[in-house]
Structure 1
């Protein structure tokens, strides 16, 4: 994801951050009319997520945000003692929303990168991803290099988009960009593209739920391992520590493994 995924606080919220989330950096003075912050346990933290990346985050038929990432953060919050509210946030503005204080944390299959670490802080990794190539079952494709001259579908702004852009040239007419990976895979099924490159979790979930698609997957050692993390505003050490402790706890008591199995089958690799 998403690499490269898919890679203001109000006065009352800012006042709270200064008192209850020490370490978030900027602390603005309050006035006598500023409302008293709610206790830490009562405050609902706003979580930004781009709900267009099944099975990590998506919206169900009721419009509720669901998915692997959502369940992981809910479980962490339960252990860490805070409440969360998920807000669908377009990928193009998700990092700015965190920086401006409109979101307290982000979970959206966000790949941890050195560049992103300069602008925000990340939890310990909670998911390990890699790129997969999806092609028709009879395609003569054994490596990433084999799709260099093919029409390839990717989700716009993701790691798949980035790596295919490097292989073919970013402005290549053979790269077809979609709003989501499932849309790219539907285009592969229809014959509009010859391959799709995307995160393994998304591709494997789609193939498991569409067994008649006639696809196969191809992995390549050239694809680096990616790690997803939960992002918080730069310097918010108190919140980051609570998230990391909650993540440790759900891994220790088996909760994480149950969530993983429900979405991907088996156990984490």
Structure 2
């Protein structure tokens, strides 16, 4: 092998080492970014939601995600000095999206429950709600107990689903579980269910926006008050503390009441 070829091989070898070193450096930077992502130090946070739950979170005519929850998060973000970007993830995929770090946190009328707290962290409550029953006008259903031998539509894996399972049994075929609350109401209107159960804010908003549909809302003390919180990946305490700081500030300055129309208890 002559000197010319030896020099060429040596140059190629050095080039390969440079590329490998660059790749190693890129991997280190990626690790640092991942670490920052969990620390709550990011200046822009990705927020997951299920935009099918008017008036809390829904798509407007221009394709924007809007609603009471969205206004609350934007107010919180302003107080803690970060930007937010909302992604319409859907209800069922929302939980793994938070757990896997695909979004920084979630807002979607998520009731704080002991079961959910086993896998996620929640902020202080920012909204109080309760389940109500929606039936066609003239229905013989007048209370929660009247649902026991009826077909009941709910949004799957929501607290509405849970309370109906408590009433009818976890595997009762009379529970019609749908992907969204509007679909649950449609199942009732189409005659596939006798009633629908969901959060009061959503059901009331539906009735208000559909005045030509003859419906009746039934409240019952059987349904306990529920508290919504922002849902964060388990152990992300820095982000949790920041969000709680923002929630506390909008409670104190009156912005939360301005958005929701009532004081938090």
Q: What's the TM-score bracket when you normalise by the shorter of the two chains? A: 0.7 to 0.9
- Give structure 2 stretches of 5+ with no counterpart: 1-26
After TM superposition, the score normalised by the length of structure 2 is 0.81
Provide the rounded CA distance (Å) in 2 between the counterparts of 1:120 and 1:173: 30
What is the CA–CA distance in structure 1 between the aligned matches of 2:256 and 2:29, rounded to whole Å? Answer: 34
Shift in CA distance, 12/151, structure 1 to aligned 2, threshold 3 Å: farther
CA positional deviation for 1:71: 0.9
Equivalent position of 2:196 in the other structure: 196
Displacement of 1:93? 2.3
Alignment length, in residue pairs?
A: 239
11-20 vs 228-237, greater mean Cα deviation? 11-20
Secondary structure, counterpart of 1:211 in structure 2: coil
Show CA shifts across 1:93-127 (max 9, x none): 22222122111111111111122222221110011
Superposition TM-score, scaled by structure 1 size: 0.80
How far 1:82 moved relative to its partner? Answer: 0.5
Q: CA deviation at 1:221?
A: 1.4
Q: 1:15 aligns with which of 27, 32, 55?
A: 32
Partner residue of 1:249?
249
Separation of aligned partners in 1, 2:111 and 2:29: 31
Q: Residues 237 and 136 of structure 1: is their aligned pair in 2 closer, same or farther, counting only changes over 3 Å?
A: same
How far does residue 214 in structure 1 lie from its aligned partner after superposition?
Answer: 1.5
CA distance 1:79–1:171, change in 2 (3 Å): same
1:131 aligns with 2:117: no
- 2:242 corresponds to 1:225: no
CA offsets 1:215-256 (integer angstroms, 9 cap, x no match): 111122121221110011222222112111111111222221
Larger Rg: 2
CA distance in 2 between counterparts of 1:115 and 1:14 reads 32
2:245, 2:164 → 1: CA distance?
37
Task: Check the 8 A contact 2:126/2:264 in 1, yes or no.
Answer: no
Q: Is the 8 A contact 1:189 1:213 kept in 2?
A: no
Residue deviations 1:56-92 (CA, integer Å, cap 9, x gap): 1112222211111111001100011001111111322
User: Unaligned 5+ residue runs, structure 1?
Assistant: 1-9, 25-39
Question: Structure 2 CA distance, aligned partners of 1:21 and 1:153?
Answer: 38
Q: For residue 215 of structure 2, what is the aligned residue in structure 1?
A: 215
Mapped contact 1:126–1:228 kept (Cα < 8 A):
yes
Change (3 A) 1:221 1:159: same
C-alpha displacement of 1:55 = 1.5
Three-state SS of the structure 1 residue aligned to 2:212 is helix
The aligned runs of 1:1-269 (5 Å cut-off) are: 15-16=32-33, 18-19=35-36, 22=39, 40=41, 43-261=43-261
CA contact (8 A) 1:260 1:268 kept: no
RMSD: 2.3
Alpha-carbon spacing, 1:203–1:165, altered in 2? closer, same or farther (3 Å):
same
Cα contact 2:91–2:179 (8 A) shared by 1: no
**Structure (1/2) with the larger helix percentage:** 2
Structure 2 Cα separation of the partners of residues 213 and 182 of structure 1? 14
Deviations 1:5-52 (A, max 9, x none): xxxxx9767524635864x7xxxxxxxxxxxxxxx57x2111111212
Whether contact under 8 Å (1:21, 1:236) holds in the other structure is yes
